Structure 1
């Protein structure tokens, strides 16, 4: 499936992390990592530490599981570190030795599980193996994001597919889980403009008219806000309610006032009942600045500096 991201102009900063970066490592893009810790291990050095320490353990030692009890000062396990630094072989060994074990669901100080980190670093093989081994996809990080929220924001087709198909019993609940900015997965996808992922979420049972909790916008309201005509058309085709109200009493058509895209305004004008076309008398509670103040965040996936066995 090819990822289709609908065109969007004047896109606002609708991010769903909920917090700025802590001191530590952050993933600035798919290939670039920024290290703000002066004494942190370099990536190659950390990978060597994880692989060599784990590799030196005899099978008897592995069965005694001492490596499962080791945590860094940031709450990371050996598995967290192996995933962060893409030491794939070491990560796979630990996953295979931990099937059904609570070790797989240990959350670090940012409440990230191994599954969160595998999605952040876009390693679908590890996502697949973690799910098969029993990792809980419903757990949320310290911003309230499930692993699926993160894959929706990143637009990772492979991880998205594995998460939506690999935990069928948990998926309905995950789709209804808002993060701490009040956004469900369908809102995250709408904000990012990923049309194909939005279609898939609807097929999997996401509620097309679900309201985000900051001020009651639906995916259609967000599409109008972001002036994404392709997304507006798709949502209407899929049955989005053009008469849905925000908490401030505004329909999607109301949000076209003062906006540049007249095509969106024309389409919604024709579909909106005449008595709902006029703006309500009360002052809008849905202006962009208010929304950004409520839901401001950084668009980076972050994880902390590394400290292993007392060494940095």
Structure 2
């Protein structure tokens, strides 16, 4: 029963039908409204929507129905979602080739069974259809990756015992252990490490290790577990960032303290741009982290490769509380300069204070988000998709065309824009961030104008 919409699914495996029970705004299949109390058989690939068609146009802009779904009607997938091992056994005996059919985003029936926590079916498929263990979705996700992402420890154990590859990576270079670490699924991570995953493996083009992701997320239990298992707090990414750099840049004061006091991290370690964790905390405006780092020995006079000190960065970026702390409690003061306006990485032509002001005004909550998935506006995109968008904006700017840069993002949902903005900030791509901020501000203005014209 789809409660508010008064629609029912009728299941007669492997067939599924939908019946509209007199909902207010109707049930739709492939843009056709279902006649009330009429059973409609769903076929693989059908679009099922509740409360209206899949999209509507208002003020010359298309709005997608959030209650729209593509129906995965492949028989083996239907059984993997809603059936039993006996259903799957009969299919293996009568049509074994159907067990290897892929559906939307190249999911197999094993992927579907993992997603729906069907342990018995996962065990059956892992035993009788072993090639499915290495099958990948369009995002490069194996069954083990999906199990780690969902925190399903029993299924992870089952898959590893059946021969799943512990070191297999998805399209962005994540192993199951990396995914468990990002999601802070400590029981799954502990199991994978106990099965032999090297805690200091830094894979993918960014070369981030498990400790980097736990520091970035601020998960103390995961952080402490990794340090106990020998994770190196001095391990660096492709850009030379240590876990402490990432903890500082995300305002995780407890994680920063743990890395220094329990892990022995170097409080003055520099990345490839010459920035220390203190620089990162200052640029973020993280006063509590700044105070901690200074207390534990951070050098307030350290200069980046472009000659910027933490005090200069704080002054230029307008972080008044940090400026006052440096001046009144540390005894260091430094006036802002035009040179520092390019930011810590020395990016030319960017007015850092203006950018910071725009960020605070239009998307102040973005820098505090822990996961994009938590944003009610978000349509979560893969990291690879976000990187391609950022690269497209950069190409447009490099060609001198603001319009080309903006067109890459034009029409994207608010949540996607926030993802791009967060990525640009994390990667210190301030020119890209400026483009996103401009689009967000125009959307906010449009929405405000539309709201003002709305009649009660």
CA contact (8 A) 1:152 1:189 kept: yes
- Displacement of 1:163 in angstroms is 1.5
Map 1:160-175 to 2 at 5 A: 160-165=189-194, 167-168=195-196, 171-172=197-198, 175=200
* Structure 1 residues 286 and 37, CA gap change in structure 2 (3 angstroms): farther
Kept in 2: contact 1:111–1:141 (CA 8 A):
yes
TM-score, normalised with respect to structure 2: 0.48
Equivalent residue for 1:15? none
1:221 pairs with 2:245: yes
Classify the secondary structure of the residue corresponding to 1:38.
strand
Deviations 1:246-282 (A, max 9, x none): 11111223334466555533443354476x7333415
- Relative distance call for 1:246 and 1:205 in structure 2 (3 A) is same
The question of whether the paired residues in 1 share the 8 Å contact of 2:126 and 2:132 is answered with no
- C-alpha distance in structure 2 between counterparts of 1:256 and 1:51, whole Å: 49
Structure 1 residues 71-127: Cα deviation after superposition (integer angstroms, max 9, x where no partner): 2253222111111222332122212335xx443121122211110111222221111
More helix by share: 2
Instruction: Find the structure with the greater CA-based Rg.
Output: 2
Instruction: Evaluate the alpha carbon distance shift between residue 162 and residue 93 of structure 1 in structure 2; reply closer, same or farther with a 3 A threshold.
Output: same
1:81 aligns with 2:112: yes
TM-score by length of 1: 0.68
**Structure 1, unpaired ranges of 5+:** 1-23, 25-33, 303-312
Gaps of 5+ in 2: 1-46, 48-64, 309-339, 356-365, 374-379, 383-456
Aligned residue in 1 for 2:345: 285
1:11-50 correspondence runs (5 A):
38-41=69-72, 47-48=78-79
- 2:183: which partner in 1? 154
Q: Is the counterpart of residue 249 in structure 1 residue 274 in structure 2?
A: yes
User: Mapping of 1:273-312 within 5 angstroms?
Assistant: 277-280=301-304, 281=307, 284-285=344-345, 299=373, 300=380
- Structure 2 match to 1:137: 166
